[in-house]
């Protein structure tokens, strides 16, 4: 997670996480952006975006999923 430096306004983050009953590795991509109120939002590609108070809170959320192969694809 150390490689995920705080972007100015937006990042596209790809990773692999385990999911499902067999706990197989699955590729996922998340858009994370700073909203007008200053909070970071995690976009799952459907429904509401999850708010996080600061970049450290975003990193804690990612770390809780225990991802592997984390990569920032785009940074703005």
Low-confidence ranges of the chain (pLDDT < 50): none
pLDDT of residue 1: 59
Instruction: Look at residue 56 and give its three-state secondary structure.
Output: helix
**Structure tokens that stand for 65 in this block:** 């999923």
Q: Which residues pair with 14 in a beta bridge?
A: 29, 71
pLDDT of residue 2: 57
Measured distance CA(67)–CA(13) in Å, rounded: 11
The stretches of 1-76 forming alpha helices (DSSP H) are 55-64
**Structure tokens that stand for 2 in this block:** 């150390």
Residue 49's contacts (CB-CB under 8 Å, 6 or more residues apart) are 35, 41, 42, 43
pLDDT of residue 56: 94
């Amino acid at each position: 997670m150390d490689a995920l430096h705080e972007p100015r306004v937006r990042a596209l983050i790809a990773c692999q996480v385990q999911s499902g009953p067999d706990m197989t590795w699955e590729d996922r991509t998340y858009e994370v952006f700073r909203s007008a109120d200053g909070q970071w939002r995690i976009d799952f590609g459907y429904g509401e975006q999850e708010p996080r108070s600061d970049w450290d809170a975003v990193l804690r959320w990612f770390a809780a999923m225990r991802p592997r192969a984390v990569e920032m694809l785009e940074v703005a």
